Chain A
């Protein structure tokens, strides 16, 4: 396999100062997308993603989580975003968590879009998240923010978008 042809860096961004959101746009020509991020947030909260600027209740998710003492699962429908973590939320200081988001078949215009995320914060938990955006539109942008409206993504957080090509 010529790996470079199918796992291509599209954009990378290091947050220079506290920011309410990080947005990727202008990605086309791939089959799937992967976002790798390392995040802090202040005053804190779950990282979330929205697509194409859609802030309506078109999202749902299911989480499997562990916090070091217990494990469980939860889910919700008709939400305004997909939370990407549950116990593994970004730390407020010190270390960064890491999250690896996979978005399958993002450019098709016939099906709703599904995502998989793994979130890791060794101080608070480990999560696996599946999410759904109930839209048949091709994903042309994605915006990351912290669910808590007053919280920001902290300086030094990194976001990298990769494109995966099936052929």
Chain B
């Protein structure tokens, strides 16, 4: 059968950390993309952190929007984001003061990423479980809707909680291509 769930690229963050993770020159030969991220943020001084996602370069204008649902073990809430310069993925990452050696996990699914006519609608699931008093589960619906639609050729994942925070060492990100035939 066709090999339809294929690793395109992976990143493992080294010592010193990095502010962003970039997948570029994404092959246009798949139907959907999936990113699996295991992340921890350094130097943000909190138990959790925010990240963001953008396509085909930064900044890309205020053409991103999202809605989420989030729960921390005691309450649930939902947020609305419009006219963003990236898709916010708040409450998505384990922060620097969280339980040592814990990393979040995130799945980002992007159907029909090669379309040159349709806005890109994506699905994001995050958990930051850490065996402590605060942990988040967050689900996002995201949309990239530029004036001129284009295939996604690059993806940037950026830490977004504060200027000093970085993706910490041992953070991993895997980009998979999924083909429908």
Contacts and interface: CB of A to CB of B under 8 A. Distances in A.
Contacts, number: 132
Contacts of A2: 3
B180 A67 contact: no
Interface in B1-33: 1-7, 31-32
A72 B122 contact: no
A88 B80 contact: no
Interface string B98-113: 0000000000010110
B118 A120 contact: no
Contacts of A4: 1-6
Contacts of B1: 4-5, 8
B58 interface: no
Interface stretch (A41-49, A103-111, A124-132, A139-147): A124-132
A98 B5 contact: no
Contacts of A66: 67-70, 76-79, 139
B76 A71 contact: yes
A123 interface: yes
A4 B71 CA distance: 35
Contact of B118 (A37, A72, A123, A156): A156
B75 to A, nearest CB: 9
Interface string A54-91: 00000000001111111110000000000000001000
Interface of B: 1-7, 31-32, 65-71, 76-80, 109, 111-112, 118-119, 121-123, 125, 139-143, 145, 178-181
